Amino acid sequence: MLSLETVREAQAMLADGASHFEIARDLQIALTSVEWIESGRHPRLREEQRQERLQPRPIRPHKAAKRKRRRQPYRPSPETIAAECERLRSLRVV
Q: pLDDT by residue (tens digit) across 7-44? A: 677 777 777 777 777 777 777 777 777 777 777 666 67
pLDDT of residue 19: 73
pLDDT exceeds cutoff 70 at 82: yes
**Is residue 74 helix, strand or coil?**
coil
In the chain, domain spans: 4-92
Q: Is the pLDDT of residue 56 over 60?
A: yes
Predicted TM-score (pTM) of this structure: 0.32
Burial letters for 26-54: b for 16+ Cβ neighbours within 10 Å, e otherwise? eeeeeeeeeeeeeeeebeeeeeeeeeeee
Burial of 22 (C-beta count, 10 Å sphere; 0-12/13-18/19+): middle
